[in-house]
Amino acid sequence: MNKEVLVIGGGLAGSEAAYYLASHGIKTTLVEMKPKKFTPAHESENYGELVCSNSLKSNDVYANACGLLKEEMRLLGSMIIEAADNTKVPAGAALAVDREKFSAYITEKLKNCPNLTLVSEEVEKLPEIEKDGDRYAIIATGPLTAEALSEDILRVTGGGLHFYDASAPIVSADSVDMTCTFTGDRYGKGTGDYINCPMTKEEYYAFVDELLKAEKAELHAFEKREIFEGCMPVEVMASRGVDTLRYGTLKPVGLADEDGKRPYAVLQLRKENEEGTTYNLVGFQTNLKFPEQKRVFSMIPALKNAEFLRYGVMHRNTYIQSPDVLNRDFSFKNNRRLFFAGQITGVEGYVESAASGLLVAIRIADEILERPQLEFDDRTVCGALQTHISTLTKDFQPMNANFGILAPMSTRIRDKKERYRALAERALETVKGELAKQQNQ
């Protein structure tokens, strides 16, 4: 077998794709510019580095579409979900990971994978791939694609879009005043893994007032920025109305303190590592200057003496107009040997990004190994995401996994819980059916 695959980008999508292909006996080269060059948001030399939250969102297969997507990926042999399952930290119903152990796990898997060559260098132009040759290429450089390659991609694709992403601060666990907190997951789901930091009415409005006055970091290149709703900075949310945070990031619904009372507002802290020595301020993505983050966030009683180990940052994310240039299988319309994967395609989120890499790898492997093609329709989350990135629309935006993008059930189910369960059961049966069909042919 003379065919080989070049994967550019060692994030979640690229790592997933490269490992799947190489582990199936296909000669693969994974090119990643780290550690020779880093983006403003990256600092680890490992593959699969998480740059924002350490949460891969819900792990509930039957109540959350991202949980369902993880299970679809498990069935398909996802290395990224395997890594997450093996490095998880307590986070209620969510699948959160120890970010250092997670990326180290991925790196170790890649380094020890036969048929896989790892190269550290910056790629500045799209590779020359013959339309009917023996080489395939996957561009999985992510939302922080280096400038030279980004410009070449935009040149070839005829333009693109930008939006701006923000990450939340991390604090030292022993600096949190636990006398001002209570533990528990929303609605009692999970195993009580979140640290809840309540605020009174007076404390909440004082906090919002100072948050709105706080000085933001100067971002010269962000003059015409578009902020993606899924990563909205907390100060931007607060500017939409004084009570906006109480119905969003700081909502107290489903939480009760030790006396059974619901606080006026609540900030949740989630473990960043397995040891529980660091905590993430859930939903507190921000673009405030570092001293302002310290000043304003310390107004929350439990954080009055908090040691900030990492401040929140905001950075540009880039994605292409996928419906204009990509086929449903993520291949380039002008060259079906060239593929794109990850957030650069307009799938939004860690799991969604890895899923696209897995889908591309399966597509290429099916062709090279001359086995029946796995086809996923909109009954599955995988298939629905493929439809999203390939459906022409006037306002193409990044998309997270959600039940709304799945094909509806043939019979209407009014109860939401029952409907979600039915959709999930159908999706998993569809994936299993495709795998069985392929194996039996």
Same domain, 96 and 142: yes
Which one of 270, 287, 312 terminates a domain? 312
Q: 34: domain CATH number?
A: 3.50.50.60
Residue 222: the pLDDT is 38
pLDDT of 126 higher than 80: yes
Q: What is the arithmetic mean of pLDDT over 85-114?
A: 95
pLDDT of 293 higher than 90: yes
pLDDT of 245 higher than 80: yes
In whole angstroms, give the CA distance from residue 59 to residue 69: 9
**Tokens of residue 350, six digits:** 């860690």
Which helix (H) or strand (E) segment is 431 a member of? helix 416-440
Percent of residues, the chain, with pLDDT higher than 90: 72
Which one of 270, 297, 312 terminates a domain? 312
Range of 72's domain? 4-161+318-440
The pLDDT mean for the chain works out to: 91
pLDDT of 156 higher than 60: yes
pLDDT of 290 higher than 70: yes
Same domain, 358 and 415: yes
Nearest to 364 by CA among 128, 25, 12: 25
In whole angstroms, give the CA distance from residue 357 to residue 98: 22
Same domain, 189 and 84: no
Same domain, 376 and 298: no
Same domain, 232 and 355: no
- Indicate the number of domains in the chain: 2
pLDDT of 208 higher than 80: yes
pLDDT single digits (tens) 331-360: 999 999 999 999 999 898 999 999 999 999
Same domain, 235 and 293: yes
Query: Which band of pLDDT confidence, cut at 50, 70 and 90, is reported for residue 122?
Result: very high
Q: In a 10 Å sphere around its CB, with 0-12 CB exposed, 13-18 middle and 19+ buried, how is residue 422 labelled?
A: middle
Same domain, 9 and 157: yes
Nearest to 84 by CA among 353, 373, 320: 353
> What sign does the CA torsion over 232, 238, 239, 244 have?
positive
pLDDT of 368 higher than 90: yes
Residue 154: the pLDDT is 85
Same domain, 93 and 9: yes
Same domain, 290 and 324: no
pLDDT of 217 higher than 90: no
Q: What is the arithmetic mean of pLDDT over 86-112?
A: 95
Residue 220: the pLDDT is 44
User: In the chain, helix, strand, coil percent, each to 5?
Assistant: 40, 20, 45
In whole angstroms, give the CA distance from residue 43 to residue 377: 38
Are β-strands 135-139 and 4-8 bridged in parallel, bridged antiparallel, or unpaired? parallel
Residue 295: the pLDDT is 97
Same domain, 288 and 328: no
- Positions of E strands within 101-199: 116-120, 135-139, 160-166, 170-172, 182-183, 195-199
Q: What is the arithmetic mean of pLDDT over 260-281?
A: 91
Contact 297, 281 (CB under 8 A): yes
Which one of 285, 312, 339 terminates a domain? 312
Q: 251: domain CATH number?
A: 2.40.30
For the stretch 209-229, what's the b/e string if a residue is b when 16 or more beta carbons lie within 10 angstroms of its beta carbon?
eebeebeebeeeebeeeebbe
pLDDT of 89 higher than 50: yes
Same domain, 157 and 192: no
Same domain, 349 and 364: yes
Contact 227, 233 (CB under 8 A): yes
